Every structure is written in structure tokens, then in C-alpha cells.
Structure 1
Amino acid sequence: MDSQDLKKYQWQNRIVLVLSDDETNKNFKTQIESLKAASAGCAELKLVLYQVLPNQVTLHHFEAADKKPSPNSSDLYKEFMRSKDSFKFVLIGLDGSIKKEQSTIMETEELFSIIDGMSIRQAEMKRKNES
């Protein structure tokens, strides 16, 4: 899986990449658990989650609650992780650009606030309120 795979979600979903050098990494596990605990909010915000390890990528759709592991090597890992990183969080907007990238856990409230502040999300909320 590489960034070309992410393109299929452009203008349909926001993407969260949670990357780690090891699946037992505490931040990795905590980040995924907190996102899954907020599944309803993640689905409303059109989020899809990529859990990215050096040799495996797992895709999680919040609205469908399905998980699809891909056991092949991950170009996403090579593209987004630096050798000094052991954990990374990346938010990609509907337009396909990186909106937030950090090497610490992203609290779901902060994530939702960042997304709600985006112009496309503002337009979505306005349309929803008008209907």
C-alpha cells in the first residue's frame, strides 16, 4: 500500500494514519483504541483509519466497522516515518493534503475540533443544518 491507495479516498473520506515501528508500542495501541472508542464521531467525520506497521497495513472503516489487513510491506510506512520515529499520527483532509502530523497521541476531542474548523467541514455542517 502506498500513497496512491490513499488517492481513492480523496473528496470522499478524511484519512488518519497511525504509524509505529512496533504493534506493541503504547502510543500506537492507545491511539487506535481512542479512535475506535469514538467510532460514531469518526464515522460522522468521514474518517478511515490506516494502522501502519513496517510490514503490515490494516484499514478500518468506521461507518462500516470493518477491518481489512494487508500483510504486504508498507510504502506508507517508508513515506511517512523517519528513522528516529517510533510513532506518528497523520491527518489527511478530503482534498488529499496533510492537515496535521505529529509524533504524539492525538486526543479525539482535538482531532474533531481540527476537522470541524476546516472549511469543507464547515460547509458540510451548514448543509446539514439547512436540510
Structure 2
Amino acid sequence: MFNLKCIALLVLMLQLTTMSAQELTEFKWKKRILLLLDTKNDLHTRNLQLNKFDGRYNEMTERDLVLLVYNGMEVLDKDGMITNINPENVTYGDFQGILLIGKDGDVKLRKKYIVEANEIFDLIDQMPMRRSEMKNR
């Protein structure tokens, strides 16, 4: 009897974990995503890229920009913490670099590492939706 209760509890926990998994599409119309693709787990290059955004939190927040890292197995936040974003839908082969995904869900930039933060910010600032946001703020 004890084994059945343990199995039922495990099944319930797995269901709750699955239900709470977030999708990148949930950011649509809310946030822009800067997705660092590091499927080879090249920590040196990843850290060089992440360093380009150090101290730029206010500029990222102002542009509704979320920085995420996909390491081939999990989606991490900018601090390296595992998120609840479902990694199964992040498939870009062996591409190592940056994807900028607009609020509309379209890829706005796909570029190999290393990309300067100002290049990303300038590109965002040229987008019609961003111009409208700046005008309304």
C-alpha cells in the first residue's frame, strides 16, 4: 500500500512540474528575449557575452528585455539559475550565438558571439513597437 501512495505522489508531483513549465511564447507581446544559445556549454564564451550586459540592467528593463541562456539541456536566467521554461521548444541546432526575439515572437537578430550590448539596444530602439513605447513613456 505504501508503494502505491509513493507512486501516486510522484505522478502528481510530475504533473504539477509539467503544468508549471513556462513556454517562450508566454513572453509574446510582453517581453523581448535575448537568448544566448550555448549548446556546447562553452562557459568562457558565454561569460564573455554575459559580461557585455553587466551593469546594463536598467537599459534592459527599459526595453522590456529578458536575457536567457540555453545550454542544450536547460534554460537559465542571466544569473545562471535554472528557469521553469520548457527547454524542449528551444531548438536551434548547433548554432552558438545570440537570438533577439521581439515582442511579436519573431527573431529580429541571429548573430554569432560576441555581440556588443549597444548593438542590441540600438536595434531594439529602431523597432516600431519600441519607438511607440518611447513616445508613450
**Which residue number in structure 1 is paired with residue 109 of structure 2?**
100
Alignment partner of 1:80 out of 67, 71, 92: 92
Structure 1 residues 76 and 32, CA, compared in 2 at 3 Å: closer, same or farther?
Answer: farther
**Contact 2:39–2:71 under 8 Å retained in 1:** yes
- Report the TM-score, using the length of structure 2 for normalisation: 0.73
Q: Tell me which of 99, 124, 127 is aligned to 1:90.
A: 99
Query: Structure 1 regions of 5+ residues with no counterpart?
Result: 61-65
* TM-score between the two structures when normalised by the length of structure 1: 0.76
Identity of aligned residues (%): 27
Could you tell me which runs of 5 or more consecutive residues in structure 2 were left unpaired when the two chains were aligned: 1-21
Separation in 2 of the partners of 1:19 and 1:92?
A: 13
SS of residue in 1 equivalent to 2:35: strand
Question: Which residue number corresponds to residue 6 of structure 1?
Answer: 24
Which structure has the greater CA radius of gyration? Answer: 2
Q: Distance in 1 between matches of 2:113 and 2:80?
A: 24
Q: Label 1:5 to 1:71 Cα distance change in 2 as closer, same or farther (>3 A).
A: closer
Contact 1:81 1:88 in 2 (8 A): no
C-alpha RMSD over aligned residues:
2.6
How many residues matched? 117
Structure in which a larger fraction of residues adopt helix: 2
